[in-house]
Structure 1
Amino acid sequence: MTILVLGATGATGRLLVEELLHQEQKVKIVVRSRDRFPDFLTSHNQLTITEANLLDMSDFELQSQVQGCKAVISCLGHNLTFKGMFGHPRRLVSIATKRICEAIGKTSPKVPVKYILMNTTGNQNKLAGETVSIAQTMVLGLLRHLLPPHADNEEAADYLQSKFGINQKVIEWATVRPDSLINELSVTEYHVYSSPIRSAIFDAGQTSRINVAHFMSQLSIKHDLWKKWKGQMPVVYNA
């Protein structure tokens, strides 16, 4: 079985692809240009690359991408530039999530496909009863209206929660929430919680991208870990 990675050319997505290949998994990616990957990745015999703009692909093309996949991991995000945050598509993450999930449904998988969404601690898990301070609520409200990427992340996570319940037979999901992302060269000790243990706005922690990549890879591979976190929004912090 194969794992489809979305946003594979991003800072976390590339690390995820490397980790999955290191774990001897078959990986598929959709990228605008394979030139953004080093040769040791593009020549890997377990990696299948499709050069395309994900949102421009037809429904049939998306179905062919998810056919036979045991998991889809989305590391999609907006570039931290003016164009990346305010240009189109403003709903990159949520539109891709909806279209990929619809494509999975059309393939009628025999066992549920795992959909793992990389998100942010700034997004509350309201179904779990998470609450934040009035001050943080006000700041997040401003971010929601002023910064399209934040609203996009919320919409994608809300879609998975509302569309796919606990007993779904087509798609099972988990939304992974790292705190402030930093770069590290190797995987280090990290902790995973069901909800944030600190304020994402006023007392943010740190999470290395390579630790996020490692955790998401393990979610897609290890049955017991998936059983623990499916249908939840785990939060990842560096130790």
Structure 2
Amino acid sequence: MTTLVVGASGATGKLLVEQLLKSGQSVKAIVRFSSSIPETWKSNDRLTIIKVDAIETISIDEMMAYLKDCQSVASCLGHNLSFKGIYGKPRRLVADMVELLCQAIIKNAPEKPLRLVLMNTAGNSNRDLNERISIGQKIVIGLLRLLLPPHVDNEKATDYLRIKIGQKNPFVEWAAVRPDSLIDIENVTAYSAHTSPTRSALFDSGKVSRSNVAHFMSQLLLDDKAWKKWKGQMPVLYNDAIEEK
């Protein structure tokens, strides 16, 4: 089995690549030429590193070629927490990549649907479920839509999956993983996945390690039982015990 990982050089993307390789999978990792990658990647026969000038300039024909022999794909793309990363271009980095991946998969018309796992955020509601949100949180989210382009980007990415791809697409099956506040812990620890948030992502956020997020994403990609449970959903992740580095 081969998985394409977009955003593979990011903090969580690197961990996902490592999780997949440890599971004996083959991986194609898309990274920018300027990205820093582990030295061990360069000598791993099961890892193909695809270097590009800019993620957002990949054409649909190029993406079709990258995906041709893949059975699954994961996106760990996100905006850098800098002024340029938040307010600069591309503002639809995540949403445009989700659309590109889906359209490339559909044009390839695989015999069996590809699994697409998107890393998103607990601050983005699953509007298929009409999740309960306090008035205060609704007000803040409205402000975030006006002031923080990355929040809108995350919403549009999952909206595309929910509305455009839906639950019965013959070529694409998806899940959007919503971690709460991310922290760094080296090893995978106990964590739990929930259909909807069990606490406010804005006023009472929980924590989850990037290692646990990568582990859960890898399980969705590799484990049929986990995929059957979470396919077409937006699971929220929390560490079972709050641990900080």
Confirm or deny a common fold (TM above 0.5).
yes
Structure 1's unaligned 5+ residue stretches are: none
CA RMSD, Structure 1 to Structure 2 (Å): 1.0
Contact kept, 8 Å, 1:18 with 1:41, in 2: the verdict is no
Contact kept, 8 Å, 2:117 with 2:217, in 1: the verdict is yes
Q: Which residue of 1 aligns with 2:30?
A: 30
Contact kept, 8 Å, 2:9 with 2:35, in 1: the verdict is no
Distance in 1, matches of 2:25 and 2:2, equals: 7
Q: Which residue of 2 aligns with 1:164?
A: 165
Q: Which residue of 1 aligns with 2:83?
A: 82
Q: Which residue of 1 aligns with 2:231?
A: 230
1:201 aligns with 2:202: yes
Q: Which residue of 2 aligns with 1:10?
A: 10
TM-score by length of 2: 0.95
Distance in 1, matches of 2:35 and 2:122, equals: 32
Q: Which residue of 2 aligns with 1:119?
A: 120
Distance in 1, matches of 2:93 and 2:107, equals: 21
SS in 1 for 2:128: helix
Contact kept, 8 Å, 1:184 with 1:209, in 2: the verdict is yes
SS in 2 for 1:161: helix
Q: Which residue of 2 aligns with 1:39?
A: 39
Distance in 2, matches of 1:18 and 1:165, equals: 30
SS in 1 for 2:49: strand
Q: Which residue of 1 aligns with 2:243?
A: none
Q: CA deviation at 1:14?
A: 0.5
TM-score by length of 1: 0.98
Distance in 2, matches of 1:77 and 1:103, equals: 20
Aligned length: 239
Q: CA deviation at 1:129?
A: 1.8
What is the percent sequence identity of the aligned residues?
53
Residue type of the partner of 1:32?
R
SS in 2 for 1:5: strand
Q: Residues 84 and 35 (structure 1 numbering): CA distance in 2 closer, same or farther, change over 3 Å?
A: closer
Q: Which runs of 4+ in 1 moved over 6 A?
A: none
Distance in 2, matches of 1:15 and 1:235, equals: 19
Distance in 2, matches of 1:237 and 1:94, equals: 24
- Describe the superposition over 1:30-80 as per-residue Cα deviations: whole angstroms up to 9, x where unpaired: 111276112112211100011102221222111101112111100000000
1:180 aligns with 2:206: no
Distance in 2, matches of 1:159 and 1:167, equals: 14
Structure 2's unaligned 5+ residue stretches are: 241-245
**Is 33-42 or 23-32 further displaced after alignment?**
33-42
Q: CA deviation at 1:100?
A: 1.1
SS in 1 for 2:122: coil
Q: Which residue of 2 aligns with 1:149?
A: 150
Distance in 1, matches of 2:167 and 2:100, equals: 21
**Is 147-156 or 62-71 further displaced after alignment?**
62-71
- Describe the superposition over 1:106-142 as per-residue Cα deviations: whole angstroms up to 9, x where unpaired: 1010001111110011011111121200000000111
Residue type of the partner of 2:228?
K
**Is 186-195 or 54-63 further displaced after alignment?**
54-63
Q: CA deviation at 1:144?
A: 1.1
Contact kept, 8 Å, 2:3 with 2:25, in 1: the verdict is yes
Q: Which residue of 2 aligns with 1:136?
A: 137
SS in 2 for 1:217: helix
SS in 2 for 1:80: coil
